[in-house]
Amino acid sequence: MKVSKSKGRREAVNDCKEIQGLIPRYLRGELTLHEARLFTKHLKRCDDCREEIEISYLLDQGIVRVENGETIDLHADLEDMLRETEDSITHLTQFRTAVYLIESTAIFVLIACVLILTLF
Ligand SMILES: [Zn+2]
């Protein structure tokens, strides 16, 4: 019981380290689909990492925007950005599924044609 508990905690910490390591690349929009999915999923349930990205976001974007005389709502901006990421993940996933379905259908039709041609 004790062992599994501490193992779980260690995994969570590793997760956080991994996720926080992705933050700079996330802010530059450089994450892969897989990474972005892990990233947004983790941030939804981890306050530590949210705090971490809020700080990074503030340093990365906030200062520039304040210098430009823009007002920023850090929390809302970050929420927007994460929502946009989730939207594009959904779109990309749907697109990939569609491509996959079209490809499988094409292969199926091809096999059917070959079978029909060889059988008749
Ligand atoms: Zn975390």
- Provide the pLDDT confidence category of residue 78 given band limits of 50, 70 and 90: confident
Q: Total structural domains in the chain?
A: 1
- Summarize the confidence of residues 92-96 as an average pLDDT: 88
Q: Is the pLDDT of residue 2 over 50?
A: no
Q: Is the pLDDT of residue 111 over 90?
A: yes
- Provide the pLDDT confidence category of residue 119 given band limits of 50, 70 and 90: confident
Gap between the Cα atoms of 60 and 104, Å rounded = 43
Share of the chain above pLDDT 70, in %: 89
- In the reported structure, the alpha carbon of residue 8 is separated from the centroid of ligand 1 by a whole-number distance in angstroms of 13
- In the reported structure, the alpha carbon of residue 65 is separated from the centroid of ligand 1 by a whole-number distance in angstroms of 27
Residue 30 backbone phi and psi in degrees, to 5: -110, 10
- In the reported structure, the alpha carbon of residue 47 is separated from the centroid of ligand 1 by a whole-number distance in angstroms of 7
Question: Which domain, by its residues, includes 19?
Answer: 2-119
Q: How many Cβ atoms are within 10 Å of 50's Cβ, its own excluded?
A: 16
- In the reported structure, the alpha carbon of residue 99 is separated from the centroid of ligand 1 by a whole-number distance in angstroms of 33
The pTM of the whole model exceeds 0.75: no
| Predicted local distance difference test score (pLDDT) of residue 5 | 45
